[in-house]
Chain A
Amino acid sequence: MAALCSAVGVSLGAVVRFLVPSVFYGPPQSFKIGNPGDFPYGPPTFLADEKIFVFRDRERGFAVASAVCTHLGCTVAYFQNDRDFHCPCHGSVFSPTGAVLYGPAPRPLNWFEITLTRDGQLRVDKDKTVPPTYRLMV
């Protein structure tokens, strides 16, 4: 009985492990987004494939906000007139610093680390979240 149970258990474990992918083929978490000069001042640039907003400010430099709503993962939009992020799915609204102003979102929007590579390009790492005050001066 014990032998049978352990055999079944091991097999089930193997099946579950089989289903967990060892290699992910999704987009990389850390990537270059181009030269600092590519980004205008003023309203943020939305990079659709990476789902991020790149902010560039004359005094304070670069910052990168996630465009993925913390509620259920829809892509938020930036509204120029009130400078808030609006989620189309269940109506969450985030302030310019990413704080939740309204709606079911449980957490503020993520901000990602942005650094300068040696060849002078901007690099974003989605695995490293930073406080909304984080800035990269170039």
Chain B
Amino acid sequence: MKWIREIWQSIVRRDPLSTDKGKSELVFLNVWLHIHPAKVKKENLRFKYSFYLGFITFFLFLILLTTGIALMCYYRPYPPAAYQDMKDLQFAVFMGSFLRNMHRWAAHAMVVCVFLHMCRVFYTGSYKKPRQFNWVVGVMLLLLTLGLSFTGYLLPWDQLAYWAITVGTNIGSYAPLVGGQLRELLLGGHTVGEAALLRFYVLHVAVLPSLVILLTIVHFWRVRKDGGLSRPIWKLKPQKTEALVTIGAPAAVAPLQVTAASKDKTYGLMEVVTGKPIFETMTPEEEEDTVFSYPYAFVREAVALMATVTTIMAISLFFNAPLEEMANPAVTPNPAKAPWYFLGLQELVSHSALLGGVVLPAMMVIALLAIPYIDRNPSRRPRERKWAIWLFTFFVVANIILIIVGTFFRGPGWTWVPPWVHVVARPE
């Protein structure tokens, strides 16, 4: 028995979890957990503040990694084997269709959650100083998530995949000057074919996931270094009005300004370097309001993880990921639709390819990236940032309406067909 305890001690090397010292050591002696602080603000654990959307997004990504690696064991990235392997996964491989379903539904859910997480961060004003750069990292993660979905969409090599990618990459070729070359670089040819499938596969299973992992590490690190999650809005203190202390200076010289002594307990190296903390700090009163990460934060994260996995599993039991006929370059399905999260884009593109497919999306991305630097209003209170909230809400709602129109109100030939009208195909 003693040697078992010795081995265990050699692994964990901490005091028992019944002690405060043990609880702290659990966090900072463990490479996986030490991204957490030893203690967290109680208010930040509240579900109604973050809805744990960032965590859920991350857990969905973990599901995608594990199921994706499993699927790779059966998938050959060239036509027509790619399509046959999908059929095999559906009908011949033990649990193949379940794993494929999980991968597909988790991918959809991740797009939804990353978007909702962004909205949460926006509405709570959490992109403001000192968190500006983490917002930028977040936008890049959003784009990478969309890129992963787009590249994954081609892999089943069915009609849906083939035409969505044909239309999608042609949108890119409208970009001025480089558009055409960019498309050829992505496809490795003039049309969507063997070379394109291989390139999309490489992007989907190697390049983009690696970038997501790298940026997620930066993202989490910055959440921590920016002082943990932002304070819930209902906990914001009244604006600081501390008078500056003036040391009896000669009248002719401008008064010497001395910053009020920091009451902050934690001193980072940055403070030694810059003199002032660059991250959000806690006052002693707030310090009272903290709890140990173990068990309070970890239990909640574990619950979020289990809820995410169970939900995706349950959906995958009852709903099968679609698979249409094998890709056929000669026959375009009518209507040919992109994945739902790109249908807003497709709707815009149906009016003008250059404006709707290139100019407007590019401007949206630049605006998203620049939000923390454009919005210089320091207040995080909704009442004091009405303009920002209205503007952001306008774009969110516009996007959702366009997606709904593209999904439900567009029929053959992209004509206006409400979902309650049944159309009979026109004879050719």
Q: Tell me the A residues contacting B by CB distance below 8 Å.
A: 16, 19-21, 24-26, 46, 48-49, 51, 71-75, 77-81, 86-91, 103-104, 106
Contacts and interface: CB of A to CB of B under 8 A. Distances in A.
B334 interface: yes
Given A26-B191, A88-B333, A88-B413, A20 B428 contact: no
Contact of B185 (A20, A24, A73, A106): A20
Interface string B171-204: 1000000000000110011110111000000000
B266 interface: no
A79 B428 contact: yes
A26 B184 CA distance: 12
A72 B426 contact: no
Contacts of B328: 48
Contact of A104 (B184, B191, B330, B349): B349
Given A24-B189, A75-B329, A104-B351, A89 B167 contact: yes
Contact of B330 (A16, A25, A26, A49): A49
B352 interface: yes
A25 B190 CA distance: 10
Given A21-B189, A51-B329, A72-B171, A104 B166 contact: no
B190 A24 contact: yes
B interface, over-half SS: loop
Nearest to A126: B190
A74 B166 contact: yes
B414 A19 contact: no
Contact of B353 (A25, A51, A106): A106
B105 interface: no
B331 interface: yes
Contacts, number: 89
B210 to A, nearest CB: 16
Interface string B329-357: 11111111000000000100111110000
Nearest to A90: B350
Given A21-B189, A90-B350, A106-B353, A48 B167 contact: no
* Those 9 A-B pairs whose CB atoms lie nearest each other, nearest first: A48-B330, A88-B334, A90-B350, A72-B170, A91-B414, A74-B332, A91-B413, A73-B170, A75-B332
Contacts of B61: none
B137 to A, nearest CB: 23
Interface of B: 163, 166-167, 170-171, 184-185, 188-191, 193-195, 328-336, 346, 349-353, 412-415, 426-428
Contacts of B191: 26, 73
A50 B166 CA distance: 16
A71 B171 CA distance: 9
B188 A21 contact: yes
B426 A88 contact: no
Contacts of A20: 184-185
Contacts of A19: 185, 188
A116 B334 CA distance: 36
A72 B349 contact: yes
A104 B350 contact: yes
Contacts of A71: 170, 353
A26 B193 contact: yes
A73 to B, nearest CB: 4
Given A79-B426, A104-B350, A26 B190 contact: yes
Given A51-B330, A74-B163, A75-B332, A91 B185 contact: no
A42 to B, nearest CB: 14
Given A21-B188, A75-B330, A77-B428, A91 B415 contact: yes
A74 B353 CA distance: 14
B427 to A, nearest CB: 8
Contacts of A16: 185
B336 A74 contact: yes
Contacts of B427: 81
Contacts of B188: 19, 21
Contact of A75 (B194, B195, B331, B350): B331
B277 to A, nearest CB: 34
29 contacts: A20-B185, A21-B188, A21-B195, A24-B190, A25-B189, A25-B195, A26-B193, A46-B330, A48-B328, A48-B329, A49-B329, A72-B166, A72-B353, A73-B166, A73-B167, A75-B331, A78-B428, A79-B426, A80-B428, A81-B427, A87-B413, A88-B414, A89-B167, A89-B335, A89-B336, A104-B349, A104-B350, A104-B352, A106-B353
B253 to A, nearest CB: 42
